């Protein structure tokens, strides 16, 4: 399998040399999971292989990750990666910003059919990231995004897997769509970007909210307010790597092994014991995606006796 499908800005940012990965943080005593990452993207001065990413993550108490697709190619890559390493599960989807171009070329239905097929694979446990993005798409692209979002919701429900939502500047329309079409039983707002109001609404619907490294940013008090009002049983953690590296490491590549930085920050915001929060995050993640050890494979953290 190809190790990476693309590079982040060809390995550089704003014309500057690509930075190194940060040193590993102190590990977690109670393991947690990164429920949204993009390991198909090479980043940094010395890009890490998938195995290196997962080895580093395991070493600091990250028991597994959900590898997420954003188009047909990355969704296939994600499903294959999860088959090859027991530390990965997969999510497959067409990113909302892909939908208008696919619709214009007449390829949207065929692409959705591939996502539907991939969603049937045993280690594909979510449809995502899908949703609505009004930041990059103008009015002319919105009908295609709505159509793709509704199709993804249907795929998730038919296959009995979770839904991972990408919601950028589209809170009201995302909520309206979920209510109108009917949200899957396990619905996750990936990289939660709302404030207290959206968090309370999500909680009332039983939707999960996943926090990435941007919860640590100085200008993200709205995210911290949301975190404080959410029931603990609806909180998840993610990296969205290689993006959204948590403070104070911003400007360097993100990776699953940096989850402990975000989790410790979240524990401080909540005034919660770190081990207690980790246990909650782990149980929530398994409730959404199932066990990483279902359908065990020969690599990853499966025990030698196959248990």
Short-list 137, 122, 121, 124, CA closest to 92: 124
Average per-residue pLDDT for the chain: 93
Q: What is the pLDDT of residues 194-212, one digit of tens each?
A: 999 999 999 999 999 999 9
Q: What is the pLDDT of residue 78?
A: 98
pLDDT for residue 298 is more than 80 = no
Cα-based angle 281, 283, 287 (whole degrees, multiple of 5): 115
What is the length of the chain? 307
Residue ranges of alpha helices (H) inside the chain are 50-59, 72-84, 99-104, 108-118, 142-159, 171-181, 196-205, 221-229, 259-270, 274-289
Average pLDDT in the 272-278 region?
98
Phi, psi of 23 (to 5 degrees): -65, 160
Between 4 and 301, the more confident residue is 4
How far apart (Å, rounded) are the C-alpha atoms in residues 257 and 239? 9
Q: What is the pLDDT of residue 12?
A: 59
pTM score, two decimals?
Answer: 0.93
Contacts of 303 (CB under 8 A, 6+ apart): none
pLDDT for residue 1 is more than 70 = no
How far apart (Å, rounded) are the C-alpha atoms in residues 68 and 77? 9
Q: What is the pLDDT of residues 113-171, one digit of tens each?
A: 999 999 999 999 999 999 999 998 889 999 999 999 999 999 999 999 999 999 999 99
Q: What is the pLDDT of residues 104-126, one digit of tens each?
A: 999 999 999 999 999 999 999 99
Q: What is the pLDDT of residue 282?
A: 98
């Amino acid at each position: 399998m190809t190790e990476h499908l693309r590079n982040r800005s060809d390995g550089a940012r704003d014309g500057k040399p690509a930075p190194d990965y940060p040193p590993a943080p102190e590990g977690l005593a109670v393991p947690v999971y990164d429920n949204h990452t993009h390991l198909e993207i090479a980043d940094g001065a010395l890009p890490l292989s998938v195995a290196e990413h997962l080895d580093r993550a395991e070493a600091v108490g990250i028991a597994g990750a959900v590898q997420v697709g954003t188009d047909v190619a990355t969704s296939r890559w994600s499903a294959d990666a999860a088959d090859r390493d027991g530390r990965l599960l997969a999510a497959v989807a067409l990113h909302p910003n892909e939908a208008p171009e696919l619709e214009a070329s007449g390829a949207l239905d065929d692409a959705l059919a591939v996502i539907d097929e991939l969603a049937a694979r045993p280690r594909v446990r979510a449809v995502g990231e899908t949703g609505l993005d009004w930041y990059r798409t103008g009015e002319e692209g919105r009908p295609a995004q709505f159509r793709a979002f509704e199709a993804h919701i249907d795929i998730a429900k038919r296959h009995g897997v979770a839904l991972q939502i990408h919601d950028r500047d589209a809170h009201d329309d995302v909520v309206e769509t979920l209510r109108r079409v009917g949200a899957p039983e396990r619905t996750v707002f990936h990289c939660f970007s709302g404030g207290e109001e959206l968090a309370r609404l999500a909680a009332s619907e039983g939707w999960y909210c996943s926090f990435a490294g941007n919860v640590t940013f100085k200008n993200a008090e709205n995210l911290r307010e949301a975190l404080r009002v959410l029931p603990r049983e609806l909180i998840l953690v993610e990296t969205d790597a290689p993006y959204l590296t948590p403070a104070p490491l911003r400007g360097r590549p993100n990776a699953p092994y940096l989850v402990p930085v975000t989790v410790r920050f979240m524990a401080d915001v909540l005034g919660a014991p770190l081990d207690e929060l980790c246990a909650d995050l782990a149980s929530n993640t398994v409730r959404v995606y199932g066990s990483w050890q279902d359908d065990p494979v020969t690599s990853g953290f499966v025990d030698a006796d196959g248990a």
